[in-house]
């Protein structure tokens, strides 16, 4: 696949909407990623600088145009306040597989925001992009992310030992999957 389209119409419900990142998101994203849980469970660097964040965001559009990732901001439906990040990534187009990843700002947690965002983008990925399988990987210690996967209808498939390297250490992850037959 070449360029990944943004969802049209945009994905939203009465609480959140998923939209492209904008310059206006940088300050809130920087504050959010200073929270210890985000670098602990993601590839976001510890002590990320604003310059690091800008470089990362600048690389998102070329990745989208190359068909490698679809990065979206999770925003409040009424306020447009940045609540988090969600992406489709790690595509294997010949097999029609991809992965979904996300993080939430501390001020957005405990309100069902991640569950809403994952449901919206997962359904779109399977139906509109035609993926045959969507994976969600959660660190074994990230119980909140594992609960999101389960609430969204993903099937827990097992443990991938020493699956990824983050911050110079190997980490085990729990792998979940969602396929079109799982959609209700």
What backbone phi and psi angles, to 5 degrees, belong to 36?
-65, -30
Q: Give pLDDT tens digits for 94-141.
A: 999 999 999 999 999 999 999 999 999 999 999 999 999 999 999 999
- Spatial separation of the C-alpha atoms in residues 90 and 99, rounded to whole Å: 6
The encoded tokens of residue 54 equal 């800008």
1 pLDDT band, cuts 50/70/90, is low
pLDDT digits (tens, 9 = 90+) for 75-101: 999 999 999 999 999 999 999 999 999
On whether the CB atoms of residues 137 and 157 are closer than 8 A, the answer is: no
Q: pTM, whole model, 2 decimals?
A: 0.95
> Over the chain, what is the mean pLDDT?
95
- Domains of the chain plus CATH, in order, are 16-182 (3.40.630.30)
């Amino acid at each position: 696949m070449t360029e990944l389209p943004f969802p049209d119409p945009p994905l939203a419900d009465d609480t959140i909407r998923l939209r492209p990142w904008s310059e206006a998101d940088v300050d809130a994203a920087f504050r959010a990623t200073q929270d210890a849980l985000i670098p602990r469970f993601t590839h976001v660097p510890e002590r990320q600088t604003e310059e690091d964040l800008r470089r990362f965001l600048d690389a998102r559009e070329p990745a989208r145009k190359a068909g490698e990732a679809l990065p979206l901001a999770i925003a409040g439906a009424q306020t447009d306040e940045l609540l988090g990040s969600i992406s489709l990534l790690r595509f294997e187009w010949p097999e029609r597989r991809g992965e979904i990843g996300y993080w939430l700002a501390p001020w957005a947690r405990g309100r069902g925001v991640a569950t809403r965002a994952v449901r919206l983008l997962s359904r779109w990925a399977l139906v509109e992009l035609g993926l045959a399988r969507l994976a969600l990987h959660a660190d074994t210690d990230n119980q909140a992310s594992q609960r999101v996967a389960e609430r969204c209808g993903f099937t827990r498939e097992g443990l991938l030992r020493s699956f990824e390297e983050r911050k110079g250490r190997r980490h085990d992850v729990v792998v979940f999957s969602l396929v079109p037959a799982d959609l209700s």
